[in-house]
Amino acid sequence: MILSIESSCDDSSIAITEIETKKVVYHKKISQDSEHSKYGGVVPELAARLHSEALPKILEECKPYFEAIRAIAVTNEPGLSVTLVEGATMAKALSISLHKPLIAVNHLKGHIASLFIEEDAVFPMITLLVSGGHTMVLKVEDFFRYEVLASTLDDSFGESFDKVAKMLSLGYPGGPIVEEYAKRGDSARFDFTIPLYNSNRLAFSYSGLKNQVRLTIESLGELTKKEKEDICASFQRVAIAHLMHKIKKVLKTKKEDIKTFSIVGGASANLTLRESLFGLCREFGMDLKLAKLEFCSDNAAMIGRYAIEAYKMGYFTNIEDLKVSPKVKEG
Ligand code: KG4
Ligand code: ZN
C-alpha cells in the first residue's frame, strides 16, 4: 500500500491505496473552509497551523496499516510553501521511521489522476484543469507526459469565483456559493464581455471579467439579494462562455484523433460547466470523463493514484532532494 499526504492549500488529507488493486482502503480529509471564510480567502500561516494539528490526528487512524506501507507519497508542488512543508515534513519523518521510499507528487498531476481513482486509466485525452490556482487545457499522453495547450494569463477560473464571492461578501470558497446564487439569478441581466473574444490566442484571462463585476457592484451601491443572484448568474455565464470559446479553438486545432475530453480540479464540480462541456463534447464526438464529485477538490486519494504509477516506474525521491515549491518547475 501507499500512504499519500496532501496539504498544498487548505485541505489536510491522507489516503492509503493498495498498489495492485488501486483500492482506496482509507481516505480522510479535514477542510479549513470555515476558518478562512471570514477572511474571504486562505490565510497561509493559519492554514499551516491548522495542518499541523489536523495531519497528526488523521495519521493516528492510519497506524493499523503501517506494516503494509511500501512507499510514502506527498504533494511537493505547486501550492503554498508554508502548507506544503507541513505534509513534506510528515512524509520525511514517516519515510525514515518506516524505512520506505518517498514519492514527490505534483499536485496538478494528482488532479489528473483523480479521474482514475480505483480504476484503470484511459489515454490519450484532452484535459481541462480548473482549480483555485490553475486554468489549463492539456494534452495528456499518459501519467507522465503532458503538453500544455492553453493556460491563464492572470487569475484562474476558480479564483475568479472566489474573488466575486468576496466582493459580494458571500464567504469562501466562492465557487459553490456563486454557483448556488447563480441558480436563482438572471444570467442575461448584466452584459459582461467575454474575455479575449477577438483574440486568436489560446489562453484564458479572468482579471478583466473580475473588474467588470467590481465596477457593476460599485455602480449599484447597496445590493439586494436578487441583484447578487443576477451578478453571480451573469458572471458565471460569461466565465464559462470564455472557457467554451477557447476550448473549442483548442479542439479545432489540436484534437487530432483524441476521443476523450476530461475535466479535473475543484471547479470541475460546477454543474453548469459540466453541462456546457457535455454539449461541446457531443459536437466534437468526444466522451466526457469526470472524476467522482468527492475527488474533484483537493484530496490525498488522487496523490495516491498518481503515486501507484510512479511506484511501478521506480520514480522515488531522495529524502534530501524533497523540496517544496510554490510553482511548477520547468521540464
Ligand atoms: O482543486 P481545488 O480544491 O484547490 C486548488 O487546487 O486550488 O479547487 C478549489 C477551487 C476554489 O477556487 C473554488 O472556489 C473552486 O475550486 N470551486 C468552484 C466550484 N467548487 C469549487 N468553482 C466554481 N464552481 C464550483 N462549483
Ligand atoms: Zn487542487
What are the pLDDT digits (tens) for 100-146? Answer: 999 999 999 999 999 999 999 999 999 999 999 999 999 999 999 99
Q: Write out the E strands in 118-192.
A: 125-130, 135-140, 146-152
Question: Distance between CA 6 and CA 78 in Å, rounded?
Answer: 11
297 Cβ inside 6 Å of ligand 1: yes
Question: Distance between CA 170 and CA 168 in Å, rounded?
Answer: 5
11, 297 contact by CB (below 8 A): yes
- Cα of 126 vs centre of ligand 1, distance in Å, is 20
Per-residue pLDDT of the chain (331 residues; tens, 9 = 90+): 999 999 999 999 999 999 999 999 999 999 998 999 888 889 999 999 999 999 999 999 999 999 999 999 999 999 999 999 999 999 999 999 999 999 999 999 999 999 999 999 999 999 999 999 999 999 999 999 999 999 999 999 999 999 999 999 999 899 999 999 999 999 999 999 999 999 999 999 999 999 999 999 999 999 999 999 999 999 999 999 999 999 999 999 977 889 999 999 999 999 999 999 999 999 999 999 999 999 999 999 999 999 999 999 999 999 999 999 887 654 3
For the chain, helix (H) and strand (E) counts, in that order, are 10, 11
pLDDT of residue 330: 44
- Residues β-bridged to residue 104: 74
- Quick one: how far is CA 239 from the chain centroid? 17
Domains of the chain: residue spans and CATH:
2-116+295-321 (3.30.420.40), 125-290 (3.30.420.40)
Question: Distance between CA 200 and CA 192 in Å, rounded?
Answer: 20
Q: What is the pLDDT of residues 162-195, one digit of tens each?
A: 999 999 999 989 999 999 999 999 999 999 999 9
Question: Distance between CA 17 and CA 21 in Å, rounded?
Answer: 8
Rounded mean pLDDT of the chain?
Answer: 96
Point out the ligand 1 atom lying closest to the alpha carbon of residue 107. 6
Question: Distance between CA 310 and CA 295 in Å, rounded?
Answer: 20
- Quick one: how far is CA 249 from the chain centroid? 23
Whose grid coordinates read 482506496? 24
192, 232 contact by CB (below 8 A): no
36, 77 contact by CB (below 8 A): no
Percentage above 90 pLDDT, the chain:
94
- Cα of 132 vs centre of ligand 2, distance in Å, is 7
Q: Write out the E strands in the chain.
A: 2-6, 11-17, 24-31, 71-77, 102-106, 125-130, 135-140, 146-152, 203-204, 260-264, 287-290
Residues 6 or more apart in contact with residue 218 via CB below 8 angstroms? none
* Residue from 131, 136, 180, 240 whose mutation best tests the ligand 1 pocket (most atoms within 8 A of CB): 131
Q: How many angstroms separate the Cα of 3 from the Cα of each of 105, 258, 309? A: 12, 33, 14
Point out the ligand 1 atom lying closest to the alpha carbon of residue 8. 6
**Helix, strand or coil for residue 128?**
strand
Question: Distance between CA 65 and CA 202 in Å, rounded?
Answer: 46
Point out the ligand 1 atom lying closest to the alpha carbon of residue 174. 14
